[in-house]
Amino acid sequence: MLKKDLIIRNPLQAIGRDSQDILKDGQFGAVLARAGVGKTAFLVQLALNGLLRELNVLHISLDDPVRKVVLWYEEVLRRIAQEYHTDSVDALLEGVLPHRFIMTFRAEGFSVPKLKERLTDLTAQGVFRPRMVLIDGLEFDARVRDCLNPLKTLAEQQGFHVWFAVRTHRHIEPDVDGMPAPLVGVADLFDVVLELQPKAEQIRIKALKGTTGNDKDRTDLSLDPATMLIRSDSETHWVTRS
């Protein structure tokens, strides 16, 4: 019953996007932050937004083994359960597992042809067909467009959208339009860009692209540094009851 009670707050609701899926098929979204600020925690919550609505989510990690990714999901669900003062973590996890698939690649071994081959095997066998793909650990260097272009084509063909965790660096300034260095040269491929910015005792979620409204840089969303759960300035909980 807890699963049916949970409505994961759409992370972009506060900045003008009311689609539950946030991105459409073939679209790209990016979550940018320095190391250790909360990119993976944010991706996991985006994934849960889909998983609890029974959308198939493929989580691709280029840095961590499967077990570490699994622990991220378990920890976030445990913190959600604490918000609800319930012990139903196992029930929540059991409900989302059929819709989650985790892949790992060595960072230097990841390529779109390899991903396509794995996806073809999964779909041909009727094992799994993703609607949302998360990629954590892709290096956004001068050659990244060579990877992103065919990946966008694959996403359009197979009917999924992609979220990326993108690492930024304190010592590298953004361009004149405010776009962080890793996305300079490929920002045109992204429909939504969010940056996690530590401010005093909270981590603000700043919208750099993909918003509506007059004040595109501001949201009323943040990450709680203690729990890494997404919170709204106008709400006390990361999740609300239907």
CATH code of residue 58: 3.40.50.300
The pLDDT of residue 57 is: 97
pTM for the full model?
Answer: 0.89
CA dist 128 → 121, 123, 136, 187, 225 (Å): 9, 6, 20, 30, 34
Q: How many CA atoms lie within 13 A of 44 on its CB side?
A: 24
Q: Please write the tens of the pLDDT for every residue from 171-227.
A: 787 886 789 999 999 999 999 999 999 987 889 998 899 865 444 455 678 898 989
What domain range includes position 207?
A: 2-6+22-235
* Within a domain: 166: yes
Q: Please write the tens of the pLDDT for every residue from 143-185.
A: 999 999 999 999 999 999 999 999 998 878 788 678 999 999 9
- In the chain, how many domains are there? 1
The pLDDT of residue 219 is: 61
